[in-house]
């Protein structure tokens, strides 16, 4: 059975609604599907209860913070990319994850904190991925989600997952009509129509996988 992981960060619950509809769709199509919410906690970021590289398909999602994905899901993915605590690389740049208080481990003597940069080639046999974002987009609408979409997809491609696209939809940020904003009143978003689009998006990607020559 093909294995899928859906991992996401969600503060308002908007991204979680999309994640759950994604899972329903994978399960209906016969996939084994694990789902995990990444919180601002050491265990989630430093010790997630899964190995992302053991999956055939990964969906990564987030809300937006300053047009970028939440740093908790980025740091979790970067831990898989480097193979060690993401704070080690951050420390080398005089940065940190302030809400994780436990000591930063030392790198083993036979390891380096430097990333081994090399060309990555992804192809038909590579595991697949999609990213999903919920956003308010008050000023410019969908384009406000583009930096987050591109960054999340790039993080997954660095781990070896070929990107198959992205799904974005508006999500409520404040409980007010905000009628002068790009999307207007989004207090009910993501709504059932948005979630049906999310379902159709995943179904389309699974059909594409089925059509890839073996």
CA distance 34 to 94: 35
52-66, 88-102, 168-182: range with lowest mean pLDDT: 88-102
Q: What is the pTM of this model?
A: 0.95
Question: Residue 214: is its pLDDT beyond 70?
Answer: no
Give the pLDDT band of residue 113 (cuts 50, 70, 90). Answer: low
Contact, 50 vs 127, CB < 8 A?
Answer: no
Report the SS3 class of residue 6.
Answer: strand
pLDDT value of position 169: 98
Which phi and psi (to 5°) does residue 56 adopt?
A: -85, -25
| pLDDT for residue 117 | 83
Identify the band that residue 112 occupies on the pLDDT scale cut at 50, 70 and 90: low
Rg (CA), the chain: 18
pLDDT of residue 116: 75
Residue ranges with strand state E in 19-142: 32-37, 57-62, 64-65, 68-69, 128-135
Q: How confident is the model at residue 93 (pLDDT cuts 50, 70, 90)?
A: confident
pLDDT of residue 212: 75
43 exposure class (CB count in 10 Å sphere: 0-12, 13-18, 19+): exposed
CA 78 to chain centre: 12
Mean pLDDT of the chain: 94
CA atoms within 13 A on the CB side of 189: 21
Rounded CA gap, 84 and 40, in Å?
18
Q: How far apart are CA 73 and CA 6, in angstroms?
A: 12
């Amino acid at each position: 059975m093909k294995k899928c992981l859906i991992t996401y960060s969600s503060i308002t619950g908007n991204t979680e609604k999309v994640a759950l509809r994604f899972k329903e769709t994978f399960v209906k199509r016969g996939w084994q599907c694990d789902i995990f919410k990444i919180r601002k906690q050491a265990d989630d970021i430093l010790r997630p209860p899964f190995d992302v590289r053991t999956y055939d398909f990964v969906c990564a999602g987030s809300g937006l913070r300053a047009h970028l994905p939440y740093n908790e899901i980025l740091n979790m993915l970067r831990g898989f990319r480097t193979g060690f605590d993401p704070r080690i690389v951050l420390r080398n740049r005089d940065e940190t994850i302030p809400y994780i208080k436990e000591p930063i481990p030392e790198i083993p003597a036979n390891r380096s904190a430097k990333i081994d940069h090399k060309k990555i080639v992804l192809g038909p046999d590579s595991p697949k991925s999609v990213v999903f974002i919920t956003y308010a987009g008050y000023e410019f609408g969908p384009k406000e989600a583009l930096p987050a979409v591109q960054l999340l997809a790039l993080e997954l491609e660095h781990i070896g997952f070929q990107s198959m696209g992205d799904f974005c939809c508006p999500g409520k940020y404040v409980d007010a009509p905000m009628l002068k904003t790009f999307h207007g009143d989004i207090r009910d978003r993501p709504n059932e129509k948005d979630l049906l689009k999310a379902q159709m998006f995943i179904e389309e990607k699974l059909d594409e996988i089925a059509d890839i020559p073996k």
